[in-house]
């Protein structure tokens, strides 16, 4: 199996049926962790690509604009991901009564 497939287990492991809200929350957390794990390397690669396009443009306005656009798109993607994570975190804290509940460490009773 590829290393990336073993790095994350999206579906929670449970003994018996997994039909609790906690297991659903664990699944959501696993999906968010996986997306964050994927987005940063992709955004970094896009920024490097945009920087290379910008540096090696040779003064061509089209290539300069293409490089700038790639870098800008990667930064916007990271900003959207960070805002979405903060929004989910805020909603979960509000639903939890404002306490400092850490949804990044969900553990379900087995």
pLDDT at 72: 96
pLDDT band of residue 89 (cuts 50, 70, 90) is: confident
Long-range CB contacts (within 8 A, 24+) of 30-33: 32/85, 32/88, 33/8, 33/104
| pTM value surpassing 0.75 | no
Q: What is the pLDDT of residues 62-84, one digit of tens each?
A: 999 999 999 999 999 999 988 98
Boundaries of every domain in the chain: 30-105
């Amino acid at each position: 199996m590829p290393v990336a497939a073993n790095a994350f287990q999206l579906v929670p492991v449970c003994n018996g049926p997994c039909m609790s809200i906690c297991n659903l929350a664990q699944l959501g957390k696993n999906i968010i962790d996986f997306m964050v794990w994927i987005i940063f390397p992709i955004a970094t690669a896009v920024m490097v690509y945009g920087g290379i396009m910008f540096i090696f443009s040779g003064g061509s306005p089209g290539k300069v604009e293409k490089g700038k656009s790639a870098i800008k798109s990667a930064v916007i993607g990271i900003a959207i991901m960070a805002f979405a994570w903060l929004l989910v975190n805020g909603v979960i804290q509000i639903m939890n009564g404002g306490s400092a509940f850490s949804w990044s460490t969900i553990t379900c009773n087995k």
